[in-house]
Amino acid sequence: MDRIILQHQNEYTIDLSAPIDISIPIRASTTNVNAWYIPPPVITPVTEGNWIGKVSEGASTNFNNIIFNPHGHGTHTECVGHITEEFHSINRSLQRFFFIAQLISVTPEEKEGDKVITKAMIASKLTSSVEAVILRTLPNTEDKLSRQYSHTNWAYLSEEAATFLRESGVNHLLIDLPSVDKEKDDGKLLAHKAFWRYPQQPRYNATITEMIYVPEHITDDRYLLNLQIAAFDNDASPSKPILYRLHSPPIPDSK
């Protein structure tokens, strides 16, 4: 079955055969997207004596070790445990995986040498109540798939904008930057804290997904979001957010 009917205020048809992948994969390469001043990911076969876990080297299987950092090496989803002294796991925090989401494209505003995503930008485009918001920054070029972000002072979300999203009922925020916060902010993490309402009343089920890439041809609209994570007991996990178009009225049967 490649179609489902979704009831969410209105009735929509979802074509499961047409997923839109907005994740950036992790590759063992110096051109892998990178942030936070760390070396690139490493993927190497296990070795034991003369044995190498690689079919081309005579093994029966490929058997690799992978060294990476979820926050700096690709698309990842994190929970409030990212900024708390006590441990909280994204694998335990995220218990639902499908959400109605709105994709919003914004051009960050130049402000005192920074580029800032403001509340006004988001408020002018958030058209209805949704559980997830996807922020695509403009200009939107394919070099986001391999950009080396360290020491670039990337654009970031204002504290007011993060608060607005939280107060609008958004529980899952996705963005195409390494962080919702300024690269060097002396540890203030104002947007993280505002979105998660930390430390006053932490939102343990709310998530932030960073380092996505939404191709240019995908239009601003509402979508069904499938937020997929790996089962890591960690504050963050590599993730694979997938969008599906909402068709209304339902797609007619092809028969």
Average pLDDT over residues 165-178: 98
Is residue 251 pLDDT above 60, yes or no?
Answer: no
Averaged pLDDT of the chain? 95
Residues 30-51 pLDDT 10s:
999 999 999 999 999 999 999 9
Is residue 254 pLDDT above 60, yes or no?
Answer: no
What is the third-level CATH fold of 3-28+70-245? Glucose Oxidase; domain 1 (3.50.30)
Task: Tell me the residue ranges of DSSP E strands in the chain.
Answer: 3-8, 10-15, 20-21, 42-45, 47-48, 51-52, 64-67, 76-78, 98-106, 109-111, 114-117, 132-137, 156-157, 172-175, 207-210, 222-229, 236-245
The pLDDT, as a whole number, for residue 185 is 97
DSSP one-letter string for 128-141: S--SEEEEEESS--
